[in-house]
Structure 1
Amino acid sequence: MNYNLIGIDGGATKVSGAIIKQINQNSFDLASDVTTVLIKDCPFYSTDFKPVEIDALQVSLSNEEERQGIAYVEACEKVVTDLIEQNQIENPNIGIGMPGLKTDNLRGIQFMNNGPRIPSILDVLEHRLAMAEIKHQPIVRLGNDSDYCGLGEFYSPNGSLRAVTNAYYIGGGTGIADVIVLDGKPVPFDEVQVWMKKTWDLKNENGISLETLISQQGIINQYAEQTGKSVIELENDGIFPAKILKENKEIEIQFVETIAYLFKDRIHSLFVEKNQIFDRIVIGLRLGKLLNNNSELLDSIIKLLLNQISKSVILDPTAQDHYLQKNFIVISELNHAPIIGAGVDAYYATQ
């Protein structure tokens, strides 16, 4: 049976999606151009919205947070509608990945860094699509954008997680996406959190989340705090992470040291828990682009990491030699991995 599949990737600032095609049982790819809608362009977007902290989850949604949540729904609705109308498909299966902690029924967002809580996002979206007479298959669940990065890299013909036994993937944008492949299969990161925490949940010696030190948004926020300028001012002046890392030595050193530390932590955690090694560490999305365009920065990370591995008291000599003699860090060029992954999940949710 041929399925019409739509994959949607939602983030803090935009929602993107595309038609996904199944090539064979183990391969999926884009079947259309990617459609993107900026949250700030949606009618209900609120310039006054301020995200709540994770320790304030019991606080009721404010009017501004509800408005911002509707703006996210509007963005999803427009992406779905445009894809269906432009590609003339009927009754598609839709997969949607979003950042943040999901509600227990997997139909809402309980908490999102830099975004609103939207506890009933799928119910509201399906209601709006029904009102607009847009026909589709029931949306089974709201997925994690991180997991969908992994599925995209695993199932795309151009993915960097194919043909590996164990691998770790880190994708950077507004936040950080963590993906792990174990014994040749992508495993939801929630299933390994007992022994390998997500990047946003790891802190340095100063109690600062590693995500805030290496994500694109985190780099800009650091520079904004140092200069006393707002993020909007910096963006209007054309000051983005690549420029900041090139010109600000303090932020650059912290960036390099944090990524090297994170990779070492992943390598040690896998060895302690499973007595295994990674075939590959993959860097993707905007973080991958950043390092792909700045080889000196990537070389600094690798040099520091290899030095730490050579001095490790956790790894045995065989594991050390594996990492020291193999070019195991690669940059992914699959820009739309989470969109493909969302389509893959939409397919398997129907099986």
Structure 2
Amino acid sequence: TAILEKHDRSQFEVFAYSYGPVEDSPERQRFTQAVDHFIDIHELSDAEAADRIAADGIDILIDRKGYTFGHRLGIFARRPAPVQVNYLAFGGTMGVDFIDYAIVDAFVVPPEEQENYTERLVYLPDCYQPNSYRPKADKMPARSDCGLPEEAVVFCCFNQTYKLTPRIFDCWMRILRRVPDAVLWLLHPDAATADNLRHEAAIRGVDADRLIFAPKVLQAAHIARHALVDIFLDTDVVNALTTASDALSMGCPVITCPGHSFVSRGAGSILRAMELPELIADDFHAYEDLAVMLGTQPDSRAALRKKIAEKMRTAPLFDTARYSAHLDRALLEMWRRYAAGQPAEPFSVPPLETSPRS
């Protein structure tokens, strides 16, 4: 929403088409106020929605669902806009001929991967994912409020449990064996999954009580409790994305080990834009050793938290105005090429020399 609010209105008129559930939340209210036109199309068929979009004279139509649940790609298949873009929600190619561009960065999708995309790749200079400060609870929780030991080293992963794999769980258990005063804080899954994780921990020689499960709370309270964490451990096949940004915004270091796919490289992109490359491990041996080093060296953790606090003010990751300016440049270049009769081609957006940080 912050990006929508910052689009250059001398260059853009912003339409939003909603086909999701109708709700009256503060987030939706802010979103509707951030755009020039908000149109609810959830009762329209794909053909009717495409006709409405075409009638509105949309130049660039951006898909925010990909192949995720509830998508309406049938609208895009009807080509209601001359330029159509895959952006943010789907980490990979759509594999169709009616999406012209995908917005990425050079870390999540290296240029040599263009041959695997039907879209032409548009490279933003920092991170493909927009990041802004999300509201946190006014009152910060104590460890005792969350069932955490006061003196323990707290590793956490607040990713959804579908992102857990045997490989990453094996790695986490080795870390706990090497840092004997540590616990692992996870989002509370269903009861059967929690029991399975405890059982698997015990099989790997780790006391099941060292796995602690965080109950579901309101978003602001969830973000605030990252302050109680010493180290966030990322998953492997599908990375933390907004979850990684939330952790960093509360001063919590995030350790990741990038894979070869878009969704396994997102946290690395975030850390690069936060200017914290030392938290990107080359392999899982390095990932494990880095976690153990931070888990056993309080001074190193303190120095890293200090660095994160500094980077919150100076690194590109949370510079919403900079990101929005880069995105505007990308969209304008897409339109310039179309208007000139040129085919869609890959291109990179040059970074701003000075940042309009806000």
Q: How would you bin the TM-score normalised by the shorter chain? A: 0.3 to 0.5
- Structure showing greater radius of gyration is 2
State the structure with bigger RCO (CA 8 A, min sep 6), 1 or 2.
Answer: 1
Q: Name the one with the larger strand percent.
A: 1
